[in-house]
Amino acid sequence: MNLEITFKKLPILLFLITLNLNAAELSEKNANCAQALNQGDISKAISISTDILKSDANSREGLLCKGRALGAQGNYQEALSALELGAKQSKEPFEQIISHLLIGNLHKQNKQYDAAMSSYNKSLALCLQEKNQKFSHINYNLIGETQALSGDLNAALTSYKEGEKIAMNDGERADSYERLANTYSTLGLHDLAIEHQVKATLLQKRSGTLDQNANASMEMGRIYTAAKEYQNAERAYLKLIQFAKDNGGAYYEAKANMGLAQTKIAMGDAAAAKSLLAESERIAKSIGDNDLIAEIDDSLNKVNTQK
């Protein structure tokens, strides 16, 4: 009797092991799909998500990954269909927060701003209900971006301010200040733009990565130039050039030279601008950055065609 029971249990045990192996394999495929998206390998993400959905047509992760990949390919309707199916499979509040956020991103990417706002607001409402401060901050910023893209800069400011109020660390605060600074600059409110970008730059120097630090300094120079505070702009760019040299950042050295060239153009010194752009191009060619070279060539052409 005991032996018989053992043999009857054995197929059940093997079945459970198989299920566990399939779950582990699917988990690995989900991780690989997300990694492929992050690396910009869209074809690979499509292939992996297709495999996942062959095993489980209702896989939330597979549907969301496929939707994001299709969106990156420009297949808006197919992407939306996959993401909406993924949203239906989202049971937990956090899963729903992410699903609505991804759908909002797809709408925003395709300039469907009203639809994007609707999705982000659904995500935000769940965040507030669940007291999820991190994703509330993210949603306020995404809503602000959408409002800015649709031309409502004052509404964007309101959203960014709401996000700044609940920022949980230096990185989130710096992000909020940078968004506010950029929006104030676009509105021509230069003093407020400078005030917020200075705050952002100080936070990035204290807690940010080298890239975040460099980007904040680039934007500081641009905002000073827009405000016609040319000496401050020059100082910001020169500090960035030295920072890039000290930290082996040839890309940012080239970008800083480009920014300084734009400041010289604003000051009416085309000769200095051409010299800076030539140096920027030399650096860009040394690192083989074709996109940067094209950007520099475009700036050079604009300077050369100016009367």
pLDDT tens-digit series, residues 195-245: 999 999 999 999 999 999 999 999 999 999 999 999 999 999 999 999 999
Question: Which residues have CB under 8 Å from 149's CB, separation 6+?
Answer: 108, 111, 113
Of 26-35, 42-51, 201-210, 295-304, give the lowest mean pLDDT range. 26-35
Residue, of 39 and 112, whose pLDDT is higher = 112
**Which amino acid would we find at residue 176?**
S
The pLDDT value given to residue 239: 96
List CB contacts of 93: < 8 A, sequence separation 6 or more: 126, 129, 130
Q: What distance in Å separates the CA atoms of residue 224 and residue 273, rounded to the nearest whole number?
A: 17
Please tell me the predicted confidence (pLDDT) of residue 16: 34
pLDDT of residue 7: 35
What's the pLDDT tens digit per position in 18-39? Answer: 333 344 555 788 888 888 888 8
Q: Are 101 and 138 in contact (CB under 8 A)?
A: yes
pLDDT in the model for residue 23: 45
Where residue 99 falls among pLDDT bands split at 50, 70, 90? very high
**pLDDT at res. 307:** 54
**pLDDT the model gives residue 26:** 52
pLDDT at 256 over 90: yes
pLDDT mean over 163-185: 97
pTM of the model: 0.86
On whether the CB atoms of residues 204 and 212 are closer than 8 A, the answer is yes
Cα distances from 260 to residues 165, 221, 291, 299, in angstroms, run: 34, 8, 19, 12
Mean pLDDT taken over the chain: 90
